[in-house]
Amino acid sequence: MQGASVIGCLDAKKQSDLYADLHGWRLTTPQKLDAEIIIPPFIPEVQRGLRKPIFPKRETLFGVSLSTILETKGYVRYKSAEHLRAQLRLPSDARLMLIGTASDYSLEEFWRRSESKSLWTRIASLRFELATSFTYSVWEKNPRFDQIYNQERNFVTHDYLISHGIPSVPFLFFHDNRDYESVVSWLQRRRDVHTVALLAQFYEKQAAFRELIKDMSALRHDSGRDLGFVVVGPSSTERIHEVLSQSSNTSIVTHQPIMKALLGQRVLPDLSTVVAPRSTERSLIAVENMENYHRYCAKFSRRPRKPQIATKSIEDHARRSKGQLKRVPARR
């Protein structure tokens, strides 16, 4: 596996230097969340490109991806919280959640520059109400060292965000039994974490996506508590329905309402779409689309929670690692 962001398993000195960096001066004390994070059932991810401001019909927590606020070289693009909201055509007091997804290259450049350029402080100055941890790649085809090192970096960014005053929801990645056990062990040590993030946008086949659904149930069982989930990226109505049906304590993050508005598509109450008249302002379509997503997702959060039976646990992951169960690549 080649690429600028890939470390590999052959360069022992490079591996040693990276671990000395991560567990040396970069190491931060695990940060405990002071209070439980309350997240709405639907978070629209903002897309650049709207010409006029968005004025939602209700108080809305907007998602902003890390790729939106970072330049390619890893620098923070926006000068202030006001500048960020103005550029995204949002109200000056808009509530924002940072979603820690970006390209591998931008993530690596940010990591390299973050301390010397005070980039963590710059992010904190943008007034995010909360965030997810970052998403350094734990892709199945990466070398094993990269997988382990990047998952540790993701957990470190969780603590960095909290230490800079931003409540954080940690992203979890795993593609075999070793990773899964490591994640569960981390959750058992971190009893302050009650909500975790999962990335759903790269599961192309339905069978693979259902493995993610089983993972949600297994994590609640094996962590020893009723976890909440922030699921980033499900796009189809069927997948959103399937995710939300697992638990009333699940939130959906997607850019679909605003992206469809930019394409001139109206979202109906069942999340199907129709073409809007060409004369209709895109920002007005976006508001209507977001409202229908809010209502659709809120139906699930209002339902009485049904008892959940774990359909997969550590034992299942152990069987899968021996070839009895097929594992889906965990990737951004």
Q: What is the pLDDT of residues 163-176, one digit of tens each?
A: 999 999 999 988 77
Which parts of the chain fold into alpha helices (H)?
A: 12-23, 66-69, 81-87, 104-113, 119-124, 144-163, 177-189, 206-223, 237-244, 256-262, 282-301, 314-321
> Model's pTM, two decimal places?
0.83
Beta bridge mates, 134? 100
pLDDT higher than 60, residue 214 = yes
Q: Per residue in 238-283, pLDDT tens?
A: 999 999 998 889 999 999 999 999 999 999 999 999 999 999 999 9
| CATH hierarchy code of domain 40-321 | 3.20.20
pLDDT of residue 208: 83
Average pLDDT, the chain: 82
Cβ atoms of 46 and 62 closer than 8 Å: yes
- Running DSSP on this structure, what letter comes out for residue 142? S
